[in-house]
């Protein structure tokens, strides 16, 4: 694969991971139930751990350690060789496992279309709808200033 | 010094059993669930995550339940839990400029680009107890409006464009980031360590110190340049994957304090800044943190140093409520041997006093 192709693939994997990390495990499981899962083995047993979260001084300066977060991760290998990784905030190791499986499928020429259409795309719609709902609620609290003329009010 | 004493095992066991019973309270009252704590006591959960220094809503809710609502005990439980898990690495620094904003206000610019967005706030409420909330209250659905596509740049970025505010300090991308959970605290401490310390520091302690600067103990003329709360994306560079992997998003509150000037014969005067960042919606915490961050920069900015909030050793050594409570509460542990020796000494001193007085009385009687 040339470097543009691999960059595209990486961008596609990252976009899928974003959607999956934002989705509830039960919703991912529900979508995965609609497709035939390829045969696979665990390359890394799902496990819980921590990551140190970093911020930046002043928001845009040198990094500093803000505090930790729980994280789960897993890795799987399809019988056809693709290796998928799953990382997500929280302690739901099964969710990490499902993300890893999806990531492996995204890399498979035969499976990527199906996993995108039946798993990632509907979850993305739900994620965007949730974001839009929050944005609309927030927008209603925007202040519209007006200057009062003396004697008014 | 305290010494181990044996013999209380059964009493301790029964005390813990009684604690569990009292924690449950009246068994005719339904048990509170973690989801209820997380959803309905959300700001308490945010505080436990921030000062427990662990972002995990469910664990923080469990800690609050186990601690019977004692926040510092809950923070202690969360800190102790941390030690049970391996660390996979450090995330890429979060970009608060790209936050999906739920609240964003500036007290310095009325017409800040992106607008003043109040979000869910106690501000402008009347602070009157609401009897409706006692039971069965169903709030209205929130109003909605068309969301603006306009960016919400940080106020400090806007001031920075004209050079009116000092830039944030930059670091070499290879420079190690100080971590006080890994190395013992030493002084003087760099600003990265100070901010880590303040981020997990006790809100009440920082609030009092911040307030002290406003009352004149290390005055630094602050304006709340911007406070924002919302979701930011988190990424972790994973060696095995080979790129920065998205982990999902977390809620953060950020406060940018804009403070009075610095300048010199070679540098034009500009505003200085203090910074606050915390998990969840933690506005009072981040404002206090930003005031204290700025106060701790007094030496660096050539200001007279003398107030408690400007003394980094004083601030950083006493900000951690788990450490503080550990040392204060250890006074409850058996100090029988120590106390016996003090008692012995006191008896001796009193005897000497009595003997001296007796001698004086005898002498006076003789004269």
Task: Select the residue from A8, A16, A48, A57 to test the B interface by mutation, using most B Cβ atoms within 10 A.
Answer: A57
Whether residue A91 and residue B143 make contact (CB cut-off 8 A), yes or no, is no
Q: How far apart (Å, rounded) are the C-alpha atoms in residues B69 and B146?
A: 39
* Domain-embedded: residue A141: no
Q: Please name which of A103, A109, A101 lies closest in space to residue A37, comparing C-alpha atoms.
A: A101
pLDDT tens for each residue of B156-172: 999 999 899 999 999 88
104-143 in A: which are within 8 Å (CB) of B? Answer: 131-143
Across the range B90-116, mean pLDDT stands at 94
Phi, psi of A152 (to 5 degrees): -80, 170
Question: CA geometry: angle at B63 spanning B27 and B182, to 5°?
Answer: 165
Check whether B5 has a pLDDT greater than 80: no
CB-based contact, A49 to chain B, within 8 Å? yes
Domain count, chain A: 1
Q: Which of B58, B147, B180 sits opposite A139 (nearest CB)?
A: B147
Pairwise CB contact (< 8 Å): B233 & A63:
no
Let me know if residue A81 belongs to a domain.
Answer: yes
ipTM of this predicted structure: 0.94
pTM: 0.94
pLDDT value at residue A147: 61
Q: Which of B250, B309, B252, B254 is nearest to B287 (CA)?
A: B254
| Average per-residue pLDDT for chain A | 94
* Structural domain contains residue A16: yes
For chain A, 153 residues long, give each residue's pLDDT as a single digit of tens: 566 778 899 999 999 999 999 999 999 999 999 999 999 999 999 999 999 999 999 999 999 999 999 999 999 999 999 999 999 999 999 999 999 999 999 999 999 999 999 999 999 999 999 999 999 999 999 998 766 666 655
Nearest Cβ partner for A67 among B55, B119, B247: B55
Respond yes or no on whether the N-terminal peptide bond of residue B44 is cis (omega within 30° of 0). no
Q: H or E stretch including A73?
A: strand A63-78
Contact A68 B55 (CB under 8 A): yes
Tell me which DSSP letter residue B161 carries. H
Between chains, do A68 and B241 touch, taking CB under 8 Å as contact?
A: no
Which pLDDT band, with edges at 50, 70 and 90, does B127 fall under?
A: very high
Residue pointed to by tokens 């009440």: B204
Give the structural domain span for A90: 3-128
**Cβ of A56 and B50 within 8 Å?**
no
Contacts of B262 (CB under 8 A, 6+ apart): B166, B269, B270, B272, B301, B302
């Amino acid at each position: 694969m040339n470097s543009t192709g691999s960059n595209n693939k990486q961008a596609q994997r990252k976009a899928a991971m974003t959607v999956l990390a934002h989705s509830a495990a039960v919703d991912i499981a529900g979508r995965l139930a609609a497709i035939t899962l390829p045969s696979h083995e665990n390359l890394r047993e799902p496990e819980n751990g921590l990551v140190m979260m970093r911020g930046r001084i002043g928001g845009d300066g040198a990094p500093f350690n803000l505090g930790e977060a729980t994280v789960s991760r897993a890795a799987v290998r399809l019988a056809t060789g693709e290796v998928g990784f799953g990382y997500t905030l929280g302690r739901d190791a099964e969710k990490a496992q499902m993300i890893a499986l999806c990531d492996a499928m995204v890399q498979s020429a035969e499976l990527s279309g199906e996993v995108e259409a039946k798993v990632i795309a509907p979850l993305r719609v739900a994620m965007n709808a949730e974001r839009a709902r929050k944005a609309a609620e927030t927008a209603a609290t925007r202040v519209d200033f007006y200057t009062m003329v003396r004697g008014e009010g | 010094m305290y010494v181990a004493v044996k013999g209380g095992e059964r009493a301790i066991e029964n005390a813990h059993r009684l604690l569990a019973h009292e924690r449950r309270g009246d068994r005719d009252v339904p048990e509170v669930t973690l989801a209820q704590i997380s959803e309905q006591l959300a700001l308490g959960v945010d505080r436990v995550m921030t000062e427990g220094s662990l972002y995990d809503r469910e664990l923080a809710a469990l800690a609050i339940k186990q601690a019977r609502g004692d926040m510092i005990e809950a923070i202690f439980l969360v800190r102790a839990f941390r030690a049970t898990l391996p660390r996979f690495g450090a995330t890429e620094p979060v970009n608060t400029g790209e936050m999906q904003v739920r609240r964003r206000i500036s007290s310095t610019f009325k017409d800040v680009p992106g607008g003043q967005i109040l979000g869910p706030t106690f501000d402008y409420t009347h602070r009157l107890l609401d009897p409706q909330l006692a039971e069965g209250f169903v709030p209205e659905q929130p109003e909605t409006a068309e969301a603006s596509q306009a960016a919400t740049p940080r106020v400090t970025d806007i001031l920075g464009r004209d050079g009116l505010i000092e830039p944030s300090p930059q670091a070499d991308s290879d420079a190690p980031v100080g971590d006080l959970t890994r190395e013992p605290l030493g002084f003087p401490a760099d600003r990265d360590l100070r901010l880590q310390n303040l981020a997990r520091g006790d809100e009440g302690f920082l609030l009092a110190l911040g307030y002290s600067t406003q009352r004149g103990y290390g005055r630094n003329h602050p304006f709340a340049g911007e406070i924002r709360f919302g979701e930011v994306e988190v990424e972790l560079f994973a060696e095995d994957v080979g790129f920065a992997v998205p982990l999902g998003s977390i809620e953060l509150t950020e406060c940018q304090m804009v403070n009075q000037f610095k300048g010199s014969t070679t540098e034009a005067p500009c505003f200085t800044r203090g910074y606050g960042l915390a998990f969840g919606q933690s506005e009072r915490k981040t404002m206090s943190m930003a005031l204290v961050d700025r106060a701790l920069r007094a030496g660096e900015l050539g200001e007279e140093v003398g107030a408690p909030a400007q003394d980094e050793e004083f601030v950083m050594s006493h900000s951690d409520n788990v450490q503080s409570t550990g040392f204060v509460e250890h006074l409850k542990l058996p100090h029988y041997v120590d106390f016996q020796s003090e008692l012995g000494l006191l008896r001796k001193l009193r005897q000497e006093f009595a003997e001296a007085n007796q001698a004086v009385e005898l002498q006076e009687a003789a004269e």
